[in-house]
């Protein structure tokens, strides 16, 4: 992570030099697409996790000098997971986390518009909702909705890795994997008996999101 940060800082100063000499291309546009999200956790309460489909959308700016670009973005992203308890007969549940994410990607262009991307992503939990197991009079499990604010931390840091293709007429495509670096479980290591509605149990939990995006450049300056 420190190495990625150092590369981004160095690239920033190189790009600032490009601005001073009028050599930089600046693109701004919108992007959006689909998420395939999961949570990497090992829990004594929850036995299995599955992929949850969500969406993302927002804006980006790209500052390109030669074969290198820095691309900050601001993205709203719905993430989360499907999960199910160990006991037979329990239905699958899901939790949804709405993040405001700020990725800062270093892009290296290899040929034409094809590029590789890497960089940190900083996320703020804007909203969350989920479901938990409650019990009927005869002990059968029933599903009840609940807020996830007691279980999920407000901030999440990820490392983004991906590839993209920028077409000449402004359309662009990106495939990116965001690997969570932060433990998003507020209750890691707590007493399990105090967590009847937690989707994570007492274990550390890190988000995993695969994103497929389509973007469109609204305008370009320089280049």
Question: pLDDT of 32-44, one tens digit each?
Answer: 999 999 988 765 5
List domains and CATH numbers for the chain. Answer: 2-222 (2.40.160.20)
Q: What is the pLDDT of residues 119-175, one digit of tens each?
A: 999 999 999 887 766 666 666 666 666 777 788 899 999 999 999 999 989 999 999
What is the band of 20 on the pLDDT scale with cuts at 50, 70, 90?
very low
Q: How many CB atoms lie within 10 A of CB 180?
A: 21
pLDDT bracket for residue 100 (50, 70, 90)? very high
The rounded distance, in Å, linking the Cα atoms of 41 and 111 is: 39
What is the pLDDT, as a whole number, of residue 163?
98
CA atoms within 13 A on the CB side of 119: 23
Taking alpha carbons only, the member of 157, 140, 146, 160 closest to residue 198 is 146
Answer yes or no: are the C-beta atoms of 75 and 51 closer than 8 Å.
no
Q: Give the alpha-carbon dihedral of 110, 112, 113, 119, to 10 degrees.
A: 10
Whether the pLDDT of residue 5 is over 60: the answer is no
């Amino acid at each position: 992570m420190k190495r990625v940060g150092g590369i981004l800082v160095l690239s920033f100063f190189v790009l600032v030099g490009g601005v001073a000499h009028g050599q930089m291309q600046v693109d701004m546009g919108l992007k959006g697409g689909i998420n395939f999200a999961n949570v990497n956790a090992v829990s004594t309460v929850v036995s299995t996790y599955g992929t949850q489909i969500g969406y993302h959308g927002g804006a980006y700016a790209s500052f390109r000098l030669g074969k290198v670009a820095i691309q900050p973005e601001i993205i709203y992203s719905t993430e989360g997971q499907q999960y199910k308890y160990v006991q037979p007969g329990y239905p699958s549940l899901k939790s949804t986390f709405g993040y405001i994410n700020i990725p800062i990607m270093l892009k290296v262009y290899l040929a034409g518009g094809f590029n590789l991307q890497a960089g940190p992503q900083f996320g703020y939990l804007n909203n969350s909702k989920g479901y938990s197991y409650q019990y009927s009079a005869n002990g059968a499990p029933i599903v009840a909705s609940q807020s996830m604010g007691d279980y999920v931390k407000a901030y999440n840091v990820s490392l983004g890795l991906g590839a993209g293709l920028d077409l000449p007429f402004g359309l662009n495509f990106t495939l990116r994997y965001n690997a969570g670096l932060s433990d998003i479980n507020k209750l890691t290591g707590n007493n399990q008996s105090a967590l009847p509605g937690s989707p994570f149990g007492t274990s550390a939990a890190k988000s995993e999101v695969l994103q497929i995006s389509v973007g469109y450049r609204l305008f370009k300056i320089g280049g």
